[in-house]
Structure formats: C-alpha cells, structure tokens
C-alpha cells in the first residue's frame, strides 16, 4: 500500500468530493484497514454465533466501529461504488459501515435498484431493517442536502409505486423492506400505502404470509404507527380479524396491539 493510496482513504474532504464513486474502492479498503486495527478474535466468534454463523466478523461492536471510520464517512456524498465495494467483503462490520453511510443520505428512486441489490444479498434482519428506513427516504419529496438535486414529487411518487411492487416480490427480504419503509414516519405516514403493502402480505394466497420475518414486520409497522394514530391501527386490526380472508397472523396482531 503506497502513501498516495493511504491519502485517498483517510482524507475526509477527498471522500466528500467523490460523488461519482471514482475512488469508492480505495475508500472501502481504508475502512477495512481501520477496522482491522480494532479486530477482536474472541468477540468475533461470539458475534458470529449470535448471527447463527451466517457471517464472519472482525469482532467490533457498534460504538468503536463507528469511531474507527468516522474520518472516512464524515462529509461523504452518496457513493454507491463505496457501498458495493464494502458489501463484497465477508466481514459483517463492512456491511454495517455501508449501511451507516446510507443512513446519512436521502435517497431517490434512482438509488432504489442499488438498494434492492443490498437487500437481496447478504440478507438478514440486522442490515435489511436499516435499509428499509433508507428506502423510505425516497418517498419524501424535497431537499436532499449537500447540494444534491431535490427529490421531486414525481420521483417520490415513483418510489411509492416501487414499494407496492416490492411488497409482492419473490424475495422475502424485499417484501419486508416495503413493509417497514415508513417506520417512524408518524403523522407523515401514507396510510393508503401502508394498507396496500400490508394487505399484499395477508391471506393464504400471499407468499410468505406465515413467515416469521413477514408477520413480525407487519406487527412492527402497525405497532409503530399506533403511537401516532391508534384508531387507524385498531380499525385495521379489526378489519383483518381471524375470520376474514385477509386475516392478521397471531404474531402480527399481538405486536400491533402491544401499546394499545
């Protein structure tokens, strides 16, 4: 590794100028180098076991991980080359850094194809649930910050239409993303979108309708919205009683009513 290459991934200003992703690969290598300095083999075994041995780990918890790469992520514009480069590494912390980068951004419809690739690869709840919230930012028109073009009404509408497509995807994790994309929207929740997405995943004919990660997500989405609109959630639960064609699963119903 040359001194020149080190400068490319440890200079935050250079990172913030790389909106075209030209040095995303180098930035990703910088992340890996920074993470390796904090690797803990014993902790890595425990973290992998917690994730059912699905992923390798460096063995770094969230706070030190974020501190280790803060100088790289700080001020960086959206950089898909960087994100995909990190996603190619086997260590799960690399994927977490990619997600942390995306959580700092406001996406548009143009970004959702790339996001879907992440959702459908290296898939598990620990990344998908954050990616779902990232997808939700594309539903909101207006300023994107840092000099980026604003998210237009047309693009927001296109993102909404895409969430309806994702809600009936052949991929379970893509469906979960659509179900959870409006978490924490509160009063800004598009209730018709929420209704359509949830109902697309109810009933015997719906694929994955009895799958834990789908029934749990449905309950979570309803529970979250119940804080702002308990009556709407009550009405939805009652309309999807056990005897109805689009009945809520027991787990979904339990989660939906948890705070009511």
What's the CATH number where 53 sits?
1.25.10.90
Res 20: pLDDT: 42
For the stretch 101-140, what's the b/e string if a residue is b when 16 or more beta carbons lie within 10 angstroms of its beta carbon?
bbeebbbbbebbebbbebbbebbeebbbbbbbbbbbbbbb
User: Mean pLDDT for each consecutive 10-residue tract of the chain (260 residues)?
Assistant: 29 35 86 98 98 97 98 95 98 98 96 98 98 97 83 96 98 98 97 98 95 98 98 98 96 96
User: Which structure tokens are listed for 56?
Assistant: 């390798």
| pLDDT value at residue 22 | 53
Helix then strand then coil, % of the chain, to nearest 5: 60, 0, 35
User: How many independent structural domains does the chain possess?
Assistant: 2
Q: What is the predicted pLDDT for the residue at 115?
A: 98
Q: Are residues 77 and 127 in the same domain?
A: no
Residue carrying structure tokens 């390798």: 56
24 and 140 share a domain?
A: no
For residue 17, what pLDDT is reported? 38
- Boundaries of domain holding 85: 1-105
Q: For residue 234, which of 242, 243, 225 has the smallest C-alpha distance?
A: 225
Q: Are residues 28 and 98 in the same domain?
A: yes
Helix (H) or strand (E) run with residue 77 in it: none
Please measure the distance between the N-terminal and C-terminal CA atoms of the chain and give it in whole angstroms. Answer: 58
């Amino acid at each position: 590794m040359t001194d020149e290459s080190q400068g490319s991934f440890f200079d935050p200003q250079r990172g913030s100028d790389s909106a075209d992703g030209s040095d995303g690969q180098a930035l990703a290598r910088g992340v890996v180098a920074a993470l390796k300095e904090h690797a803990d083999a014993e902790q890595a075994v425990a973290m992998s076991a917690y994730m059912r041995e699905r992923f390798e780990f460096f063995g770094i918890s969230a706070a030190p991980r974020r501190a280790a790469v803060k100088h790289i992520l700080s001020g960086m514009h959206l950089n898909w080359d960087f994100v995909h480069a990190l996603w190619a590494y086997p260590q799960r912390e690399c994927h977490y850094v990619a997600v942390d980068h995306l959580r700092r951004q406001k996406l548009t419809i143009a970004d959702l194809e790339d996001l879907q690739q992440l959702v459908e690869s290296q898939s598990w709840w620990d990344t998908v649930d954050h990616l779902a919230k990232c997808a939700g930012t594309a539903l909101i028109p207006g300023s994107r910050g840092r000099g980026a073009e604003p998210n237009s009404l047309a693009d927001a509408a296109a993102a909404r239409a895409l969430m309806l497509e994702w809600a009936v995807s052949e991929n379970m994790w893509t469906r979960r993303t659509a179900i959870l994309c409006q978490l924490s929207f509160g009063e800004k929740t598009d209730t018709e979108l929420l209704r359509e997405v949830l109902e697309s995943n109810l009933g015997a004919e719906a694929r994955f309708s009895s799958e834990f990660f789908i029934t749990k997500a449905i309950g979570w989405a309803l529970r979250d919205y119940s804080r702002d609109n308990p009556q709407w959630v009550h009405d939805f639960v009652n309309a999807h009683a056990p005897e109805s064609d689009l009945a809520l699963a027991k787990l979904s119903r339990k989660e939906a009513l948890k705070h009511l």
